[in-house]
Chains A and B, each alone.
Chain A
Amino acid sequence: MEKIVNSNLKTEEYFINMGPQHPATHGVLRLILTIDGEIIKNVEPDLGYIHRSIEKMCERDSYQQIVHLTDRMDYLSAHINNEAVCLVVENALNLEVTDRVKVIRTIIAELTRISSHCLWWGVMGMDIGALTTYFYAFRDREMINDIFEETCGARLTMNYNMPGGLMFDIHPNFIKRTKEFIAHFKTKIPEYDRLLTGNIIFQKRTKGIGVLTREKAISYGASGPVARASGFASDVRKRHPYSAYDRVEFNQALSTEGDCFARYSVRIQEMWESMSIIEQLIDNIPEGEYQTKTNAVIKLPKGEYYQRVETARGEFGVYILSTGTKSPYRLKFRSPGFSNISLLNEIIVGGKIGDLVATMATIDIVVPDIDR
């Protein structure tokens, strides 16, 4: 059968809007695509639909109030964002928190990471077209939400951290329920693998798509699983350890291919590593106080402070310039999603719209984190 090609067909590029309301953009993100047929020529993100001027608000709030604003940014790693602000305040005041606080913060941070990756996995399958994964992921995530509700008081934006320690001590059921969850979830990840990872359609849609080289990852400021899938060992828990990460052993999930499937495998591997960290800490929580006294009005001494933590999306940084008053003079949040979204144009040009959806799913952005 001969192929009939009409070589006189005139084509032209056109602009198409993806978003701001779109099921695959994970939030209110508008992408202005320039496409020729189905091949993408240019992607320009249009941000600002959920910009709430958090940095300006922080210039008039007290430090305890700032902690409450941080978990509205990347709400899937809410506890880790709170921890960043608490750590920068504690380091500036030279305040030592007890070992009990450090270990509990680390355990809850790793549970948050598993919860965020669980939701990411469910949504990743849904974007590619496998709707079942969404229900499986949310069913397992409910167990973590219930643990948080019992101990911290809220399911998503916990605000369990405060400068100096924790708001309340852990609930008596916390250790038992966490161990039950770990035992349950260890049987679930193989189920996830059977459902999605080995599926030939999924592999064809993700292997070789959206390749990011290591040099580009460093130049674009990528961090988190996006960078680790390209061979850039960016884990802040290893480069600049904080809380209890210097006393546990875990591997950094790395890959060298840099395509969508590599980013997927890195996150699945991170879920196993997080469970391993929790297992090393859950039986040996040290005794002690859950809170160290601070003044009611916290004033940081004059100077500049920077603290970074590893959220589920990458490196989150807090920069504070203080002039000695009760609010910071300038506070800047370095958000991982902002740097990760800037490399979208680089890696997707020449691909199809379906590739764009798969790449956006593996970059795993949360738009309130970008817009702040």
Chain B
Amino acid sequence: MTNQEIQNMVSGWSENIEFSEEASQFLNITVSKDELHRICEKLKQTPELDFDYLFCLTGMDWGEDLGVIYHLESIQNKHEIVVKVKTGDRDNPTLDSVNELWRTAEFHEMEVFDFFGIKFNNHPNLKRLFLPPEWEGFPLRKDYEDQANMIIK
């Protein structure tokens, strides 16, 4: 399906979906955090879309807000989509886990928790992955400062 057809199909699912105007090689949609799980489930289970391969899950610090970017692909239908979601709350960020839709999300969400501090609901084993368990702070946030390990100019 072309990007325009996917956009027409997806925009009928909710009024809160925004489509990005910036040029990018993929179709970008931004969803609200309450609808994330429902939209992702429909993206995976609708037969014409069938997004079954989550090939990249990225945590992001946009400055005012934290969020996650999901890159999805359909192996059968050969189209791709990018789903972005913001947590809305910088001090206590939470999101729903998509672990039971795409099992690769288990490790990726642990990594996002480790580096950004976003907690995922319904995650089977949410804990720090790379850093030691007693580490304080979330390094990939833009306001992270660490006098011992970083050169701050």
A-to-B contact residues, CB < 8 Å: 47-48, 51, 53, 55-56, 216, 218-221, 223, 232, 239, 302-306, 308, 315, 317, 319, 321, 330, 332, 334, 338-339, 341-343, 346, 371
| A303 in contact with B22 (CB, 8 Å) | yes
B102 touches A47 (CB 8 A): no
Q: Are A232 and B75 in contact (CB under 8 A)?
A: yes
Q: Smallest distance from the beta carbon of A120 to chain B beta carbons, Å?
A: 23
Closest to A223 in B: B55
| Contact indicator A303/B23 (Cβ below 8 Å) | yes
By beta carbon, the residue of chain B nearest A222 is B104
A342 and B104: CB pair below 8 A?
A: yes
A56-B140 contact given A219-B104, A221-B104, A342-B104, CB 8 Å threshold: yes
Chain B positions within 8 Å of A, measured between CB atoms, are 22-26, 28, 52-56, 58, 60-61, 69, 71, 75, 78, 82, 102-104, 106-108, 111, 129-132, 139-140
Q: Is the CB of A53 within 8 A of B139?
A: yes
Name the contact of B106 in the complex, choosing from A306, A334, A342 (C-beta under 8 A).
A342
Q: Which A residues are CB-close (under 8 A) to B131?
A: 48, 51
* A330 touching B130 in the complex, CB below 8 Å, given contacts A218-B75, A220-B103, A303-B24: no
Cross-chain contact B24 with A339 (CB below 8 angstroms): no
Which residue in chain A gives the minimum CB-CB distance to B80?
Answer: A306
Nearest 5 pairs between A and B by C-beta? A221-B104, A48-B130, A342-B107, A332-B58, A51-B130
Q: How far is the CA of A338 from the CA of B130 in the complex (A)?
A: 12
Q: Which chain B residue shows the least CB distance to A315?
A: B55
B56:A332 contact, CB within 8 angstroms: yes
Interface contact B103-A334, CB-CB below 8 Å: no
With A48-B131, A56-B139, A220-B104 given, is the CB distance from A330 to B55 under 8 Å?
no
Quote the shortest CB–CB distance from A219 to chain B (angstroms). 5
> At the interface, is chain A mostly helix, strand, loop or mixed?
mixed
Q: Which among A47, A319, A339 is the interface contact of B129 at CB below 8 angstroms?
A: A47
Partner of B25, one of A305, A315, A346: A305
Given contacts A223-B55, A317-B55, A342-B107, 4 further A-B contacts (CB under 8 A): A48-B129, A48-B130, A302-B22, A346-B103
23 pairs of residues in contact across A and B, judged by CB atoms under 8 Å: A47-B129, A48-B130, A53-B139, A216-B103, A219-B102, A219-B103, A219-B104, A221-B102, A239-B78, A302-B22, A303-B22, A303-B24, A304-B28, A304-B82, A306-B25, A317-B56, A319-B69, A330-B61, A339-B104, A339-B107, A341-B107, A342-B103, A371-B130
Are B52 and A218 in contact, with the CB atoms below 8 A?
yes
A218 cross-chain contacts in B, Cβ below 8 A: 52-53, 75
Contact, CB under 8 Å: B104 / A47:
no
- Chain B residues with Cβ under 8 A from A305's Cβ? 24-25
Chain A residues positioned under 8 Å from B103 (CB to CB) = 216, 219-221, 342-343, 346
* Chain B neighbourhood of A330, CB < 8 A: 58, 60-61
Min CB–CB distance B32 → chain A (angstroms): 20
**Chain A, Cβ-Cβ closest to B153:** A60
Alpha-carbon gap, A317 to B25, bound state (A): 14
How far, in Å, is A94 (CB) from chain B's closest CB?
A: 12
User: B71 near A47 (CB under 8 angstroms)?
Assistant: no
Please report the C-alpha to C-alpha distance between residue A297 and residue B132 in the assembled complex, in whole angstroms: 37
Residue from A55, A303, A306 within 8 A of B56 (CB atoms): A306
A48 near B56: Cβ-Cβ < 8 Å: no
Query: How far is A303 from B69 in the complex, measured between Cα atoms in Å?
Result: 14
Asked if A334 and B130 make an inter-chain contact with CB atoms under 8 angstroms apart, the answer reads no
Asked if A219 and B52 make an inter-chain contact with CB atoms under 8 angstroms apart, the answer reads: yes
Question: Which residues of the other chain, A, contact B111 by a CB distance below 8 angstroms?
Answer: 338
Question: Given A221-B53, A315-B55, do A48 and B132 touch, yes or no (CB 8 Å)?
Answer: yes
B102 touches A304 (CB 8 A): no
